[in-house]
Structure 1
Amino acid sequence: MAQNSTQSAASTSSGNASQASFVQGSAWITAGSIFSRILGAVYIMAWLPMIGDAQTGNLANALFSKGYNIYSLFLMISTAGIPGAIAKQVAHYNTLNEYRVGRRLFHTGIKLMAILGVVSAGLMFFGAPLYAQSAAEIPVYRSLSVAVLIIPFLSIFRGYFQGFAEMAPSAVSQFIEQLARVAYMLGATFVIMQIQHGTYQQAVVQSTFAAFIGAIFGILALFWFYLRQRGKLEHLVAQSNDNLQVTTKELVMDIIHQSVPFILLGSGITIFQLIDQYSFFKMLPKFFLVTKKEMEIYFAIFNFNSNKLVMIVISFASAMAVAAIPLLSAAHARNDKRDMAQQITNVLQLFLIIMVPASFGVAAVAEPLYTLFYGHDALGISVLQVNSFTAIILGLFTVLAAVLQGLYQNNVAMRYLIVGIVTKLVMQYPMIAFFNIYGPMVATAIGMLTTSLLMLVSLYRLYHFKLQQTFRRMLGIVFFSLVMFFLTGITVNLVGMVLPVERKIFSAVILIIAVAVGVIVYGYLILKTRLADRIVGPRMAGLRRRLHIK
């Protein structure tokens, strides 16, 4: 009896430690990702006015979006999922106190990165005319190919730190990378458009080349962290058990085996966007009378404008996914099934308590939010509202795919994503026919929801996480989010009666007031009902006391 009590206490302690580690890691990654995403969206407010009028701005955004969709795919190929695989495997070996193997894995990964980076950059540069739909896209693709050379190294460096559950270096380097990218982008665009009086195509080429500049600064930031922690890392390697004898060939095969799923799963959202990029322009004219320029503007609105803002919300899920993989991998290495089940529960519930209200909130403030960034446009506002709800499904896929990878269920995750992609392809044509510009988003939601539901069922069958508890708490979160949604929407309408939302400066004021109302309402509800305590942890009790919420 005493032994069972001791084991139970140890298991509970392990679960609490895992939850605390996950929450802390998520906080760092979320902060870095959110600040980077916000900065990556805020630059639009300075960039678009330099580009020209609203129509020219949308044409520039369409070109920018096409370039980044292709770039994202090549980036995933060039990294071959290796950074995620490195984080996962380093965490695995560290748990076994085989730090020396983890370091050799990192060094081997760097060599693979160099080869893949050169090959992918070459394919992207020289193959640009093959996948470009217009001559203007070719220089954009080629400007981004330079970044493909060095970003793989940046990614694997982050993966190594994440394998030690060190999320701060990744978060800080991510923010610095984005800061440098935006600074170069705005500076180059100002020179081209305001001084040289060039074209928006030239500005887009330099704006995409900014990815290379940002990557350099991101690498420098990681080197600074590495030099600061070098002593600690060397000490851990010196204390390594050295019981595992792993050859370089075995390490390479290990990386390849683990990285292939990261390619497909990490490219999931990008693949869906590429389906839109190469099908939307062919399918829409079959049902609606539209010009080429109108289609470019429509594409910019749903594939770039709204996505730019929605990805801020999805970055919450991405951050949790990055933090979850090493912890799940460590639990798997210990064969601690109870901790694995608890980790899955933690991930899902933390995802829900953050992602659901964030998506509802974006929908509620869509009008002032879209106006602030792109100008007042009824179609753009409507698309953003629809896309904000789609973000919940995209975020859920991101988290579930990471969980399955962390638990070495790679084949399952890939199989279900392929089902989702096929569903997207089948639904794309009829959804565009029925819903016009909203069609691609609806098809994406159906495809991703199919994948996510299959993943959830698989996880429950394998690990029996707390599904009923998660469902009950989800109902509470959705109810509180709906209350917040309606009160925030009412606030937007009431303040909009006094201040004209069509003007950017006033839309900013309305947005600040509405967001404050939403945060206060939702925050009060989850603290008052103790829902935050049960999901995030005991730290919420201290916050509640400081806010005098009984």
Structure 2
Amino acid sequence: MDRVKEKEPIREKSSREKMVSGSAWMTGGSILSRLLGALYIIPWMAWMGTQEVANSANALYMIGYTPYALFLNVATAGVPSAIAKQVSYYNALGEYKISQDIYKKGLQVMAVTGIVSALLMYIIAPFIAANSPTASVSDGTQVIRSLSWALLIIPCMSVTRGFIQGHHTMAPSAISQFIEQLGRVVFMLVAVYFIRIVSDGEIVSAVSASTFGAFIGALFSIVYLLYIIWKKKPELEYNLAHSKNNIKVSTNEIFKSIIKTAVPFIIIGSGITLFQMIDQFTFAPIMESVTALTAKQIENNYAIAAGNANKLIMIVISLAGSMAITSVPLIADLLAKNKMKDVRMQLSDSIQLFFFIMLPSAIGMAVVSKPLYTVFYGYSAFGTGILQLSSFMSISLGLFVLLGSTLQAANQTKSALSAMGLGLIVKLVFQYPSLWVFGTYGMLVSNILGFGTTVFLMLWAMYKMTKLNISFLMRRVLLMILITSSMALIVFIFQKGVYLFFEPKDRFGALINIMVSSSMGGFFYFYAALKTRLADRLLGSRVARLRSKLKIK
């Protein structure tokens, strides 16, 4: 009996258990990080000044952050997933020495890419600012350059996250994300308060200080991750001592392996940012030619569509990123063991779990878009409409994030890249006619068409590789759609009821509305998922036990 108890703690979790556990950690970390990244906007915009001044500040902020996100993706986006994939693969083979060498060499590679990316972004900042929808090129340049400092730290931080994820340990990565965001938000709010409220300083100074917060947040995060590596030292040394060492890989081969694996992840990881860069460079000139809007109105509309709504939908899109981060090392591990049937099941589970979480999140956000936008930015019929369409768009963006990473983990990089390339072409082709027909909404319409094309091609590539049971997937997703639609109706009814007692344009009333209607919708979705056994099938025995305790038959 004692002998049995000794073995139980080292029982290897199934892929589904690892997926659910890892996704829970990464989702929790991402949601908390994204919520912080959205909640700060309330005092931030209030301290900036009037709503018009605040929107201009937000537009300036986005003009800096969009190219920064692209440089960040080039420097790091592929690295955590690439390192996690490589480390997980060699750990599965018992080649712990190689996996640790990959981490050390990855640090060297990323230190160089960080320096190069920071210098390049600093140098070409005036060019980016000159081609963006901003009233002042010098202000745009200052903001973009303030972000370049973060690129010196974040690449090495990303390597460390990937190494930890490769050991199927997601908690430290999730916590480090939260620490990074907390450090960034606290710094930027303190800085903006002193610059705008205490010193009555310039808008550009406040925005530049805000964007410099990325450097501060990264600093806190990497210190925490290094502490985790130090704590794992006994385990790493034990693994190293018991490494099989049957495979010999040279330093050059390790460098090539990291770069070869990381580059596709970088390109796919830059997908959303590349779509946003198309908007940043084409929105103003196209809108000037097809509308009678002034430059200030165009800047304001861009701030609402690319900044305000984007901050909120990224909360739900981060859910897909969390699942992608978790699934990459799992799929790499299964491929290393040549378990193709399990790979097919893992891909199917990932897609189902995505829709299970993403559908109620995105559709729910669309239904409560009016009070949600009011709470964060103040009442705006235009802003509400943009957020509604953005919420629906977030489903295709989230699916792109998940499928892009999982296809690469399954060694289907070429299919992923070609799908994204065709999606970008569709985006470019439809950008002008969409803006001409739909105005600012056209920016989102062309995104939906572009990402829709990419997602369809990725799903087709996944089907050809694994022969996924499409009819089974469709039945599961249809059930989720039916439950989500019922949830949306309940949220809508309660929202209308609350509006009988509170003014729609009032921030406090909007907050009460969200709390009441979202709570009722969430309760219904939770109950329906348990009642139909959907949650049992996706989340495992723990949920089944919960359903039993709640006496839901």
Residue in structure 1 matching 2:194, options 191, 194, 209: 191
Residue in structure 2 matching 1:498, options 497, 501, 514: 501
CA–CA separation in structure 2 for the residues paired with 1:470 and 1:535: 12
Give the stretch that moved more between structures: 75-84 or 163-172. 75-84
Paired position in structure 2 for 1:425: 428
- AA paired with 1:255? I
- Conservation of the 8 A alpha-carbon contact between 2:275 and 2:427: yes
- Conservation of the 8 A alpha-carbon contact between 1:81 and 1:266: yes
- AA paired with 1:364? V
Is residue 527 of structure 2 the alignment partner of residue 530 of structure 1?
Answer: no
- Conservation of the 8 A alpha-carbon contact between 1:341 and 1:466: no
Paired position in structure 1 for 2:169: 166
Taking structure 2 as the reference length, what is the TM-score of the superposition?
0.96
Tell me the secondary structure at the aligned position of residue 439 of structure 2. Answer: helix
- AA paired with 2:445? V
| Structure 2 CA distance for partners of 1:525 and 1:375, relative to 1, 3 Å | same
- AA paired with 2:32? F
What RMSD over aligned residues (CA atoms) do the two structures have, in Å? 1.1
Paired position in structure 1 for 2:106: 109
For residue 224 of structure 1, report the CA deviation from its aligned partner.
2.0
For residue 548 of structure 1, report the CA deviation from its aligned partner.
2.7
% identity of equivalent residues = 42
- Conservation of the 8 A alpha-carbon contact between 1:158 and 1:170: yes
Is residue 215 of structure 2 the alignment partner of residue 212 of structure 1?
Answer: yes
Tell me the secondary structure at the aligned position of residue 274 of structure 1. Answer: helix
Taking structure 1 as the reference length, what is the TM-score of the superposition?
0.96
| Equivalent residues, number | 537
Matches within 5 A, 1:96-495: 96-133=93-130, 134-495=137-498
Is residue 521 of structure 2 the alignment partner of residue 518 of structure 1?
Answer: yes
Is residue 59 of structure 2 the alignment partner of residue 56 of structure 1?
Answer: no
- Conservation of the 8 A alpha-carbon contact between 1:91 and 1:163: yes
For residues 104-130 of structure 1, the C-alpha deviation after alignment (integer angstroms, 9 at most, x for no partner) is: 000001001111111110011122112
For residue 532 of structure 1, report the CA deviation from its aligned partner.
1.0
- AA paired with 1:39? L
Paired position in structure 2 for 1:43: 40
For residue 229 of structure 1, report the CA deviation from its aligned partner.
1.7
Give the stretch that moved more between structures: 304-313 or 535-544. 535-544
- In structure 1, stretches of 5+ residues that fail to align are 1-12
Give the stretch that moved more between structures: 33-42 or 527-536. 527-536
- AA paired with 1:541? A
Residue in structure 2 matching 1:545, options 535, 539, 548: 548
CA–CA separation in structure 1 for the residues paired with 2:285 and 2:201: 31
- Conservation of the 8 A alpha-carbon contact between 2:77 and 2:270: no
For residue 179 of structure 1, report the CA deviation from its aligned partner.
0.5
For residue 466 of structure 1, report the CA deviation from its aligned partner.
2.5
CA–CA separation in structure 2 for the residues paired with 1:291 and 1:78: 37
Tell me the secondary structure at the aligned position of residue 338 of structure 2. Answer: coil
For residues 222-256 of structure 1, the C-alpha deviation after alignment (integer angstroms, 9 at most, x for no partner) is: 12222222211221121110111100000001111
Paired position in structure 1 for 2:511: 508
CA–CA separation in structure 1 for the residues paired with 2:278 and 2:237: 46
Matches within 5 A, 1:3-18: 17-18=14-15
For residue 81 of structure 1, report the CA deviation from its aligned partner.
2.1
Paired position in structure 2 for 1:32: 29
- AA paired with 2:255? V
For residue 80 of structure 1, report the CA deviation from its aligned partner.
6.3
CA–CA separation in structure 2 for the residues paired with 1:125 and 1:23: 41
- AA paired with 1:109? G
For residue 321 of structure 1, report the CA deviation from its aligned partner.
0.4
Tell me the secondary structure at the aligned position of residue 135 of structure 1. Answer: helix
